Amino acid sequence: MRKQIVAGNWKMNTNIQDGIKLAKAINDFASNYNLENKEIILAPPFTHLSSIVKEVDPKKISVAAQNCAAWEKGAYTGEVSAEMIYSSGAHFIIIGHSERRQYFNEYNATLFQKVKICLKNSLHPVFCVGELLAERESDKYFEVIKRQLVEGIFGLDSENFGKVIIAYEPVWAIGTGKTATPIQAQGMHKYIRKLISEKYGVTIANETTILYGGSCNAGNAKELFAQPDVDGGLVGGASLKANEFIEIIKAL
Ligand code: 13P
């Protein structure tokens, strides 16, 4: 059975001290909560990774980075490699977030490089796809998502693809308070699973966790997660408030 996951993407928020407090509060909750087939992932900024890893129970909470370099190592001042991230104790990594695509010119070919480097370094990619508002309104969204998947991740062999999580994050829903309706989310998740099935077969498609992201909060999580192809959420703003994030976990 595929894993259900709630992941908190803290983006460029919190200092280390506040990040530790937030992680502790979520860990306190998780220590008394039966997660069964569910998983919690926290994705703090790079600077916090090893401190947060030490704060959380690895049986309950995994830690993720939000990005990594497209190169293995060397003279790339300011970059952080997949190997460094893995050595911090993180096991997951967000790749291809729309903010990386939009502000840092990360395109599908670069993202595929990153995905391969992550897997080589034992990190599980949370690979993000999502269409812009104009692409949604002009009915191009299926086409856009297909291209992001084909160019960004479908170059992997089956064994490696089996280690990947997909996150569908419509760009128009990120940080806008305008969430996709459960029907819109389900429509896209079902389509993504169909594409995975065509490429890798039905067994792998049914095992792949597909998260929804974009203004997911304590009020809408339950209805979104109730959709058959929505396996949890990648949460931004609402993951910065322990109580709200905990309510989202309970909605799984
Ligand atoms: P918000 O939940 O703040 O809309 O952000 C979603 C997101 O980008 C998670 O990666």
Give the pLDDT confidence of 185-215 residue by residue, as tens digits: 999 999 999 999 999 999 999 999 999 999 9
Mean pLDDT of the chain: 97
Protein residues with CB under 6 Å of any ligand 1 atom: 9, 97, 169, 174-175, 213-216, 234-238
Q: Could you identify the atom of ligand 1 that is nearest to the CA of residue 214? A: 4
pLDDT reading at 152 higher than 90: yes
pLDDT tens for 206-248 read 999 999 999 999 999 999 999 999 999 999 999 999 999 999 9
DSSP states along the chain: -PPEEEEEE--S---HHHHHHHHHHHHHHHHTS--TTEEEEEE--GGGHHHHHHHS-TTTEEEEES---SSSSSS-TT---HHHHHHTT--EEEES-HHHHHHS---HHHHHHHHHHHHHTTPEEEEEE---HHHHHTT-HHHHHHHHHHHHTTTS-HHHHTT-EEEE--GGGTTTS-PPPHHHHHHHHHHHHHHHHHHH-HHHHHH--EEEESS--TTTHHHHHTSTT--EEEESGGGGSHHHHHHHHHT-
- Nearest protein CA to atom 5 of ligand 1, as residue: 236
Q: Report CA(13)–ligand 1 centroid distance (Å).
A: 12
Q: Which of 102, 169, 179 to mutate to test the pocket of ligand 1 (most atoms within 8 A of CB)?
A: 169
Q: Could you identify the atom of ligand 1 that is nearest to the CA of residue 217? A: 2
pLDDT reading at 116 higher than 90: yes
**How would you classify the pairing of strands 165-168 and 4-9?**
unpaired
Q: Which of 6, 11, 212, 220 to mutate to test the pocket of ligand 1 (most atoms within 8 A of CB)?
A: 11
pLDDT tens for 42-84 read 999 999 999 999 999 999 999 999 999 999 999 999 999 999 9
Task: Write down the pLDDT at residue 177.
Answer: 84
Confidence tier at 1 by pLDDT (50, 70, 90): confident
Burial of residue 74 (CB within 10 Å: 0-12, 13-18, 19+) is: exposed
Residue type, 210: I
Residue type, 197: S
| Domain around 57 | 4-250
Task: Write down the pLDDT at residue 36.
Answer: 87
- Nearest protein CA to atom 9 of ligand 1, as residue: 236
The whole-number average pLDDT for the span 158-175 is 96
| Other Cβ atoms within 10 Å of 46 Cβ, number | 15
Q: Report CA(209)–ligand 1 centroid distance (Å).
A: 18
Q: Report CA(74)–ligand 1 centroid distance (Å).
A: 32
Task: Write down the pLDDT at residue 160.
Answer: 98
- Annotated catalytic residues are 97, 169
- Nearest protein CA to atom 2 of ligand 1, as residue: 236
Q: Could you identify the atom of ligand 1 that is nearest to the CA of residue 174? A: 4
pLDDT reading at 178 higher than 90: no
Confidence tier at 105 by pLDDT (50, 70, 90): very high
Q: Report CA(179)–ligand 1 centroid distance (Å).
A: 10
Residue 167 CA to residue 209 CA, distance in Å, equals 8
Report the domain count for the chain. Answer: 1
Residue 11 CA to residue 13 CA, distance in Å, equals 6
CATH code, 148 = 3.20.20.70
The pLDDT > 70 percentage for the chain reads: 100
Task: Write down the pLDDT at residue 45.
Answer: 98
